[in-house]
Amino acid sequence: MYTQSMDTMAREGGDNAPRVLEDAALQARFDERIDAGGFIEAKDWMPQDYRKTLIRQISQHAHSEIVGMLPEGNWVTRAPTLKRKSILLAKIQDEGGHGLYLYAAAETLGVSRDELLDALHSGKAKYSSIFNYPTLNWADVGVIGWLVDGAAIMNQVPLCRCSYAPYARAMIRVCREESFHQRQGYDALLAMMEQGTDAQRAMVQDAINRWWWPCLMMFGPHDADSTHSAQSMRWGIKRISNDDLRQKFVDATVQQAQVLGVTMPDPDLRWNEERQHWDFGKIDWDEFWRVVGGDGACNRERLAMRVKAWDDGAWVREAATAHAAKQAARLAAAQAAQHHDTEQLQAA
Ligand SMILES: [Fe+2]
Ligand SMILES: [Fe+2]
User: Residue 152 Cα, ligand 1 centroid: separation in angstroms?
Assistant: 8
Any idea which ligand is nearest the CA of 170? Answer: 1
User: Measuring CA to CA, how many Å separate 91 from each of 68, 95, 158, 255?
Assistant: 11, 6, 22, 25
Closest C-alpha to 96, from 126, 77, 73? 73
Beta strands in 96-183 (DSSP E): none
Residue 63's pLDDT is: 97
Distance 65 CA to ligand 2 centre (A): 8
**pLDDT at site 340:** 82
Residues whose CB is under 5 A from ligand 1 (ion)? 65, 95, 98
Burial of 200-231, coded b for 16+ CB within 10 Å and e otherwise, reads: bbebbebbbebbbbbbbbbbbbeeeebeebee
d(CA 294, CA 309): 20
Q: Output the CA–CA distances (angstroms, integers) from residue 311 to 38, 41, 90, 183, in the order listed.
A: 42, 34, 24, 34
Q: What separation in Å is there between the alpha carbon of 206 and the centre of ligand 2?
A: 22
Instruction: Provide the 8-state DSSP code for 278.
Output: E
* Amino acid identity at 274: E
Residue 141 CA to ligand 2 centre (angstroms): 11
Distances (CA, A) of 32 to 27, 35, 167, 203: 9, 5, 20, 53
Q: In this structure, which ligand is nearest to the CA of 181?
A: 2
| Ligand lying closest to the C-alpha of residue 148 | 2
The ligand minimizing its distance to the Cα of 146 is 2
Phi-psi region of 110 (alpha: psi -120 to 50; beta: other; left: phi over 0): left
Q: Which of 199, 200, 193 is nearest to 262 (CA)?
A: 193
Q: What is the pTM for the complete model shown?
A: 0.87
Per-position pLDDT tens, the chain of length 348: 333 344 444 444 445 667 777 888 999 999 999 999 999 999 999 999 999 999 999 999 999 999 999 999 989 999 999 999 999 999 999 999 999 999 999 999 999 999 999 999 999 999 999 999 999 999 999 999 999 999 999 999 999 999 999 999 999 999 999 999 999 999 999 999 999 999 999 999 999 999 999 999 999 999 888 878 888 988 999 889 999 999 999 999 999 999 999 999 999 999 999 999 999 999 999 999 999 988 999 999 999 999 999 999 999 999 999 999 999 999 999 999 988 888 887 877
Residue 174 Cα to ligand 1 middle (Å): 6
Q: How far is the CA of 74 from the centre of ligand 2 (A)?
A: 16
- Least Cα distance to 181 among 231, 237, 141, 122 occurs for 141
d(CA 48, CA 4): 16
Q: What is the pLDDT of residue 16?
A: 64
Cα(222) to centroid of ligand 1, in Å?
24
